[in-house]
Structure 1
Amino acid sequence: MALQYQIISVTPFQQNCSLIWCDQSMEAAVVDPGGDVARIEAAVARAGVKLTKILLTHGHLDHVGGSAELAARLALPIEGPQREDAFWIENLAEQCRMFGFPLVAGFTPTRWLEEGDRISLGQEVLEVIHTPGHTPGHVVLYSRSAQLALVGDVLFAGSIGRTDFPRGDHQALLDSIRLKLWPLGDDTRFIPGHGPMSSFGEERQSNPFVAD
């Protein structure tokens, strides 16, 4: 029994949307569907999984842009991010204008996620970790069984998330990484919102922003 995953690159930002599923029940979730909904649906069909929910790490357009369309087409609940990111989701139209994106439909998450919440996916469980800094309501989704974290835009291979957006906080971001992610263990691999996967151990050694 294990959590399986596939990374789907979406939007002109080349954002990592993740399809994750329990290989026992084949129950699946899409994490951060930023756009290109047809591409996401094709990946779901190829994997032969049953999509049951949409999970969001934070409220930026390139991570949530396809959420309303995907939820409407497949009658899916949207879970996350933490409610401090509500202002980003409420301002989706403004984000579309700012980044020159076609207008996307707005939405309200079915469930806001909080520190310590658990998300079931068949026999797999994801733990919710509130990691403010890049945005105030950012969350990381962690699978203890797979030693895998979906970290959105908190941490990247060799870099960290931007904090120059409204309500970004550089020190809060560093604290989120060092105090909340590092304790999960050096062997934990992570899928970032952009770019290649890495491990916490690798970043503790070589990441110029947060190395020990």
Structure 2
Amino acid sequence: MTTPGTLPPLPERVERLLATEDPLPIVAAGDPVLRTPAAPYEGQLPEALLARLLAAMRRTMREAPGVGLAAPQIGVPLRLAVLEDPATVPEEVRRVRERAPLPYRVLVNPVYEGVGERRAAFYEGCLSVPGWQAVVARHAVVRLRAEDEHGRALDEEVRGWSARIVQHETDHLDGTLYVDRALPRSLTSNENLLRYWNDPAPERAAAELGFALN
């Protein structure tokens, strides 16, 4: 039993969230959970409940569709994220954006740091900011440290579009949205991105919309 104004224990809240077989509702920008650093995952959920939560996150990510989903995006304030990118894009896009397929994986308590000086600027969107995209300059290569869902330590270099996904989802766990890092003049609706700026790289958009890529 909870008193007025208090939240039920986290396992109970997750159980309620998973009470439907539908994809989970995705929290939109403006909700405080997206602006609050998530708590490190330290076994707050029973093993079976964690597995169910991650499976539901995977299903939600795929059906959105997206290439990553952080737990705060479904209202769960824990440092958990799922990633997967089939990279079903034209070959030129794959080459220019260094977008190789990223098999499904779980990140627990991830952190990253840039490797080298090279940065890459591309249009980027977010399931929690539907309908819009903007150019974000990110590290082209990052060192990722985390654990997987079985508690195994991860320490690896990730590059290209996969590095972008790692940065985007880890930022969510720190209360940061991609719009915080975006070039404001690049902001465009999804419709106008397809109509005007659907190029492998955003150089033409930068020239015509008036923003610098470096």
Pairwise TM-score range, normalised by the shorter structure: under 0.3
**Greater radius of gyration (CA):** 2
Calculate the TM-score normalised by the size of structure 2: 0.25
Higher share of residues assigned helix: 2
Q: Which one has more relative contact order, counting CA pairs under 8 Å at least 6 apart? A: 2
Calculate the TM-score normalised by the size of structure 1: 0.25
